[in-house]
Amino acid sequence: MTSHSRHPLQSARRMLAALLVCWPGVAVAQSAASNPALDSTRVALAKYADPFAAIRDGYFSTLACIEYPEGATLGDERIAPGGMGVHFLNVSLVGQMPDPARPQVLIYEPVRDTLRLVAAEWFVPAQAAQTPPMIFGQTLAGPMHGHAPIMPPEFHHYDLHVWLWKDNPAGVFSSTNPTVHCPDGRYTMRNDRPSLVHAH
């Protein structure tokens, strides 16, 4: 018996991963491609390449396209100049601890007249966590103030962006992606700067 026939599930997963690389609208972040945990999450969330599928599952657009053309700082972290994109938030998941298959936020890049799925974000309100949450071996950044105008500044939280479908020169877990840009218009926000909540 060949090793291929002894492990049909592994073979099926490899075939599915290969198909997803070629599937329209679903690019794979090459720098994350060798991480099994990220591979599984990428496959589980691939259906959200269609924004309407995200809406049907409870994710709704926050409208604003977020970009930091000059970068920013968040505590000791230097946030690279670049964009985040448009955030689709699932309110029903807010307050839950990070689950690879259930991110609180999906992030789309506007490309001409389409929205292209590029990243997911795990997002935990500060009051829901005794200690900074973790996922994929990474500690979520924060606690930070809410990002105006898409949330009140007093909504303190932790978050982690993971660039699952678009290669990111700044790193898979970087807050921004230098290759993501927002179109000019009333729903593009370039002036907000993230800030940590400091203990008094």
Gap between the Cα atoms of 52 and 70, Å rounded: 32
Task: Decide: 50 and 72 in contact? Cβ < 8 Å.
Answer: no
From the CA atom positions of the chain, what is the Rg in Å? 17
Gap between the Cα atoms of 34 and 196, Å rounded: 32
Task: Decide: 142 and 197 in contact? Cβ < 8 Å.
Answer: yes
What are the mean pLDDT values of the chain's consecutive 10-residue runs (200 residues total)? 44 40 40 76 97 98 91 78 95 94 97 95 92 95 84 89 97 96 88 65
Residue 84, classed as helix, strand or coil, is: strand
Amino acid 22: pLDDT: 34
Burial class (CB in 10 A: 0-12, 13-18, 19+), 200: exposed
Beta bridge partners of 59: none
**Residue 142 is which amino acid?**
G
Q: What is the dihedral of CA 53, 59, 65, 68, to 10 degrees?
A: -120
